[in-house]
Amino acid sequence: MTTEASVAADTSTRELARFVAGLTLDVIPAEVVSRAQRSLLDTFGCGLFGATLPWSAILRTTLGQVDDGRACRVWGTSQRLSAPHAALANGAAVHAFELDDLHKESILHAGATATPAALAAAELAGGVTGARLLAGVIAGYEAGARAGMTVGTAHLLQGWHPTGTHGALAAAAAAAVVLGLDAGQVQHALGIAGSQSSGLMAAQYSAMVKRFHAGRAAQSGLYAALLARAGYTGITNLFESEYGGYCGTFSPSHDLAPLTDGLGSRWEAGRVGYKPYAANGSCHPAIEIIQELIAAEGITPGDIERVEVRASTATVAHVGWAYQPGSVTTAQMNLPYIVAVALTDGEVFTEQFQPDRIADPALVELSRRVSVRADPGIDAQGPSHRHATRIAVRLTDGRVLEREKLYARGSARAPLTDDEVRAKYRRLAGTVLGDRQVALIERLTDDLAGLDSSEPLSAALAPAAGAR
C-alpha cells in the first residue's frame, strides 16, 4: 500500500524520507560502507557482552513471560522473541555497559538503536540481502544523527536522553529500508517514531532503565516501520510543526538545516566514534589526560592532593556531579569516579565497574578530591568542543600538573584503528561465544555487502550448540 498521496508537500521531513527510501548500497561511498561494517562489529561485541549482565537478564526473563513469539533471536542467548521484543532486548544489551558507538554532535548511540531494529526487520522478512541490511543500518545512522543535530546539546540539557529520543528515528529509518518502504511510508514511519521518542536523563544517576532507553527506541522504530507499511499514519511535518513537533517540543532552541544539509554527500554514518573505555563519552578526554600523566610522571593516588577538572557546561551537568556509590550506571556516568579509578588502575574497562570496585572506600575517598566545574572558554568554542577538558592535578609535594585535551582516542576526530575495533569486538564477544563463532561473525560482517541473505549473520549471533 503506497502513501505517496497522503503526505505533505516538500518539507525537511519529506526530503529526509525521500533520501532514506532511495538509499541503496551502490550510491554510498565505499569508505562509508566500510565504516558501517566496523560499526556493526563494534555493536555486536557490545550486545553480546551486554547480554551477560544482570539487568539484561531481568529484561529478557520478563519479556519471555509475556511473549511466546519465536520470530527473532536474542543475541548471545538461545532465546527467541517476537521481532519488537527482540529489538528491545538486543538494543538494551548493546547499551548495557556504556561501550557502544557514539555520534558526538547528536549525542546518539546509533548502533544500539538502528542495528537491532534492522536485524529484527530482516529476520521478520525471512532474511534480506546483506547489501539491503547495510543500507538500512546506514540510513538509520543518517536519520538519527541528523535529527539529533537539529536540537543539539540543548536537548540533553533539557533532561532528555538523546539515544532514547533520536534513537527511535534511527531505528525507524533502518527498519524502513530493510522492509522496502516508499518515501511516503518512510515519512509516516518517522512521524510515528517521533511520537514514541522518550527517555529521561535522570536515569543516569543509578537506574537500569537507562539501558532500556536504547532498546525501547529500537522497538519503537520497528513498530513505526511496520505500522507505516500497513498504512498507519504519523506526523508528516514531524520536525517543522510549531506546536507539538519534534524540534520545538524537545528543545528550547533548534535548527532544521542539519536535517538535510549535505544529504548524500556528507555522511554522518562515517563520523561515529568507538569507545575504548566503558564510560560515558564525556569522561574519555579526562581518562586519557590521567593516563598520560601516569606515564610521564609516575603519579599514584597517594600523590594526589586534589584534581581540578574544567569542562563544558554540558559535561558538568551530564557527568560532573558528586559521586555517591550506587549502581554500575552511577559509576560509569560519573566523572569524579572515572578520574579516581583511572588514577588507581590506569584503565577504565569492564573490570573497573565490578560491585566491589564501585563501592571501594579508597576510590570513593579519592573521588572526593576531584572537583568539576564549567569553563566559559570551552563553552565559547561551541558544541563541537563539548568534550574538551582541562585538568590541573595538584600533588602533595606542591607541584601542579596541567593538561588539556580537545577530544579523546576513539572519537571521530581520533578514531580507533580497524585492528583496535576488531580487538575490542573479540574481547567482548569472547565472553559469550567460542573462538570459531566469534571469527564467523567477524567474517560475515566483513563479507556482508555480498551476502545473498542476512540469515547466516543473524544465526551466528546466537550461541552454537556446546558454546560457552
Contact 325, 391 (CB under 8 A): no
Confidence of residue 9 (pLDDT cuts 50, 70, 90): low
Three cell numbers at 420?
583496535
**pLDDT score for 191:** 98
Confidence of residue 7 (pLDDT cuts 50, 70, 90): low
12-20 average pLDDT score:
98
Q: Is the predicted pLDDT of residue 1 greater than 80, yes or no? A: no
**pLDDT score for 465:** 56
Confidence of residue 2 (pLDDT cuts 50, 70, 90): very low
**pLDDT score for 74:** 98
**pLDDT score for 10:** 80
Share of the chain above pLDDT 70, in %: 97
Distance CA 337, CA 350 (A): 14
**pLDDT score for 6:** 53
- For 264, phi and psi rounded to 5 degrees? 85, -5
Instruction: Spell out the residues 6+ positions from residue 93 whose beta carbon is closer than 8 angstroms to its own.
Output: 46, 47, 48, 50, 51, 53, 56, 75, 76, 211, 215
Share of the chain above pLDDT 90, in %: 95
Contact 73, 86 (CB under 8 A): yes
Q: Which domains does the chain have, with CATH numbers?
A: 4-270 (1.10.4100.10), 281-405 (3.30.1330.120)
The tens digit of pLDDT for each residue in 386-399 reads 999 999 999 999 99
Q: Is the predicted pLDDT of residue 121 greater than 70, yes or no? A: yes
Confidence of residue 412 (pLDDT cuts 50, 70, 90): confident
Instruction: Spell out the residues 6+ positions from residue 361 whose beta carbon is closer than 8 angstroms to its own.
Output: none
pTM, 2 dp: 0.95
Contact 238, 148 (CB under 8 A): no
Q: Is the predicted pLDDT of residue 468 greater than 90, yes or no? A: no
| β-pair partners for 200 | 160
The tens digit of pLDDT for each residue in 223-280 reads 999 999 999 999 999 999 999 999 999 999 999 999 999 999 999 999 999 999 999 9
* Alpha helix segments (H runs only) across 230-270: 246-250
Q: Is the predicted pLDDT of residue 467 greater than 50, yes or no? A: no
**pLDDT score for 46:** 98
| β-pair partners for 109 | none
The tens digit of pLDDT for each residue in 130-171 reads 999 999 999 999 999 999 999 999 999 999 999 999 999 999
398 by DSSP, 3-state: which?
coil
- Which residue has 509516516 as its cell numbers? 188
What is the average pLDDT score of the chain? 95
194-203 average pLDDT score:
97
